[in-house]
């Protein structure tokens, strides 16, 4: 994706800022699978099957007569599917090169979703933390000697 002038749409940096702020919980949600699968490979495959099923169902849109709206309606679940599959790689994979690629996929697909929504005048979903950011970790108490 290349930068676009302010008159023609958002720049890549602008979209990246939106994504960095936490695009949406819907984009980073973890599927609930019920009982735990027997092995890490089974867990990975089960998560991917859920992502693929959700993606394929989401892409089956009824045409509206507006090509751009229909394109985004089909591409958004397609990109979300890629995000969910990359998240499964991060949860279960061990190859550091592939894990970095999965992280890049998540960011790039979120940027593409944001750009498509903005291009057709649809608002972005509210920002929310990723699943792994919602676990609160205790913060150290401020030092009594800290400067004011």
- pTM for this predicted structure: 0.64
Q: How far apart are CA 145 and CA 110, in angstroms?
A: 43
Q: Is 114 exposed, middle or buried (0-12, 13-18, 19+ CB in 10 A)?
A: buried
CATH homologous superfamily for 35-125?
Ferritin, core subunit, four-helix bundle (1.20.1260.10)
pLDDT tens per residue, range 24-74:
333 334 444 555 556 889 999 999 999 999 999 999 999 999 999 999 999
Tell me how crowded residue 136 is: count the other CB atoms within 10 A of its CB: 6
Could you state, in order of their start, the residue ranges of all structural domains in the chain?
35-125
Count of Cβ atoms closer than 10 Å to residue 115 Cβ: 20
Rounded mean pLDDT of the chain? 76
């Amino acid at each position: 994706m290349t930068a676009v002038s302010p008159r023609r749409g958002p720049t890549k940096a602008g979209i990246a800022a939106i994504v960095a702020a936490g695009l949406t919980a819907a984009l980073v949600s973890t599927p609930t699978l019920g009982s735990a699968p027997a092995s890490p490979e089974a867990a990975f495959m089960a998560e991917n099957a859920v992502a693929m099923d959700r993606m394929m169902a989401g892409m089956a849109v009824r045409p509206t007569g507006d090509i751009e709206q229909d394109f985004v309606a089909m591409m958004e679940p397609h990109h979300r599917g890629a995000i969910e599959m990359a998240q499964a790689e991060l949860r279960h994979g061990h190859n550091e090169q592939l894990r970095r690629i999965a992280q890049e996929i998540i960011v790039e697909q979120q940027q593409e979703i944001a750009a498509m929504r903005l291009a057709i005048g649809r608002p972005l979903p509210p920002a929310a933390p990723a699943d792994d950011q919602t676990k609160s970790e205790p913060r150290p108490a401020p030092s009594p000697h800290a400067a004011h």
